[in-house]
Amino acid sequence: MSKDIEKNLVGQPIFKQLINLLPREKFDLLVYKHQSDRYYKAFSSWDELVTLLFGILSRCDSMGEVCDGMRTLQGKLNYFGMTQSPAKSTANDGLRNRNHELFRDFFFELIKHFESVLSVSRVDGVSFSRFYTFDSTTISLFSDIMKGVGRNPKNDGRKKGGLKVHMMIDAHANTAKYVAISEARLHDKNFLKHLTLPQGSMIVFDKAYNHYLQFAHWTKEGVNFVCRLKDNAIYETQEVLLENMLTNKPSGVIKVEHIHLKYKENNQNTPLCLRKVTYRDEKGRTYQFITNNFGISAEEVAFIYKNRWNIELIFKKLKQNFQLHYFYSETENGIKTQIWCTLIAHLLLTVLKVISKTKKSFSTIAALIRIYLISHLEVFWVVENCRRTYVKKKKTKNKSPVVQLSIF
């Protein structure tokens, strides 16, 4: 068998092909809006974006590695709209001083730009056309710039810092609709009030977000929610709507109740009408869900909460495939800038996966891009067909015996 050495070569490296997916004109408008190039002559906002994306996609551990890596690309930097590789001090100054809000706004601009590409799927079994999932993930820092969670260490030890990335995604398209970065010590439920949800939508989150006053506001606004009930929650059962023994099947709805929870508003305790669903899964675990929707089935309530796991998978992809263990800056602004650029890199690879219609996993695509980042292969060919293939030789009709020569 002989190796197939056919290669799909193009005139630009893979990194440039990914950069071409970004709408430069929209980025330039944001640069003008934020005046982010006002005090910079040698390191523009576009240079910083390209530099960070190069470091993130190649998984460099420090800004020194990023700058040294780009220095070896001197002959290819013109592909990326750069005249020279940035000095380490210059790049660090950009991370420290250039406002991270530029990259935050560009991320959400990209969400709108790729909306038609990413809105190709729909969660089966959910009757809501607008279905959202909300959660957060904690990222540890080796400095106390942003306050972490937990108690102070013993024996005068140094406490690590930490941050939280709060995200609401469109569950049908698996794209972010709201993202906020905060210190890890801030409680998750404080961010529910910042969400803008349309009437008739459904949002699902974990029991860490139990906020009865916000639940009451959503009920008045016609916004539906599903979450788990806290173990120490105090409520009054008004009526048992359904009760099953589940003798013939291992999983299903055990009980449905109409309950009242009390919340405080204007120094008065007010009852909140909710529906409580007790459900047992295939592994014998029992869950208690609460919702303000009395119209959907109890099975759909459990299924909606099960789909909350999709946002956990997004956090897993971010932590496993991108460099969020080491940060290129020790300033809060630089750390936030790197996180926004990491979200941009994740979005680019997601778009690449959707357009190519490949069945490869996200981790495989991220590894392939990292390996072939500066090669001149066609990026979609790499994602779809990059593997070593062999072509079977045709049998010849010449069946003459092989003559062996001996040398004495």
Q: Which residues, at least 6 apart from 90, have a Cβ–Cβ distance to it below 8 Å?
A: 42, 43
Query: CA distances (Å), 351 to each of 123, 172, 346, 377, in order?
Result: 19, 15, 9, 18
In this structure, are 282 and 371 located in the same domain?
Answer: no
Domain enclosing residue 78, as ranges: 2-107+326-390
Residues 294 and 347 in one domain: no
Confidence of residue 24 (pLDDT cuts 50, 70, 90): very high
Q: Is residue 115 part of a domain?
A: no
For residue 86, is it within any domain?
Answer: yes
Among the ranges given (5-19, 108-122, 172-186, 306-320), the one the predictor scored with the smallest mean pLDDT: 5-19
Average pLDDT, integer, range 117-137: 87
Q: What is the mean pLDDT of residues 144-150?
A: 54
Whether residue 338 is found in the same domain as residue 372: yes
**What pLDDT shows up at residue 312?**
92
Residue 195 in domain: no
Q: 38: which 2 tokens?
A: 């006002």
Per DSSP, the residues of 173-226 read TTEEEEEEEEETTS-GGGGGGG----TT-EEE--GGG--HHHHHHHHHHT-EEE
Q: In terms of domains, do 297 and 243 share one? A: yes
- Domain total in the chain: 2
Convert 271-309 to b/e letters by CB count within 10 Å (16 or more is b). Answer: ebebbbbbbbeeeeeebbbbbbbeebebebbbbbbebbe
Least confident of 85-89, 182-186, 397-401: 397-401
Q: Whole-angstrom Cα distance, residue 129 to residue 170? A: 10
Domain identity same for 352 and 291: no
Is residue 403 domain-resident? no
Do 274 and 302 sit in the same domain of this protein?
A: yes
